[in-house]
Amino acid sequence: MVYVKRCEYDLDTGKLEMEDVDGTRYSIDVYMVEDLCADTMYERSALDYLLYNEPVKYVNLLLSGELREYVQQHPIYLED
């Protein structure tokens, strides 16, 4: 299990940079994750919300294999 020490999204590269407590660094391609886990714009909005507001939860859901189920159950509907 990976315990996240630091996690931040780099908008310029589209990568989520994280470091675990052992000092190992990971780089996650957010665009690839979106393509694999989100089918609708509402599911993509849920991913974006997690990415910007709860990046550690985003990483934990991704690494546990539960990210797709999460965004399908928690889509964010945009206001008109």
Residue 17 has pLDDT above 80, yes or no: yes
∠ CA 19-40-2, nearest 5°, is: 20
Q: How many CB atoms lie within 10 A of CB 26?
A: 15
Q: Which of 29, 16, 23 is CA-nearest to residue 56?
A: 16
Whether the Cβ atoms of residue 54 and residue 70 lie closer than 8 Å to each other: no
Q: What pLDDT is stored for residue 78 in this prediction?
A: 65
Residue pLDDT, tens place only, 50-59:
999 999 999 9
Residue 74 has pLDDT above 90, yes or no: no
What b-and-e string marks burial along 39-52, b requiring 16 or more CB atoms within 10 Å of the CB? eeeebbbbbbebbe
**Which percentage of the chain shows pLDDT scores above 90?**
62
Residue pLDDT, tens place only, 32-46:
999 999 999 899 999
Q: What pLDDT is stored for residue 76 in this prediction?
A: 82
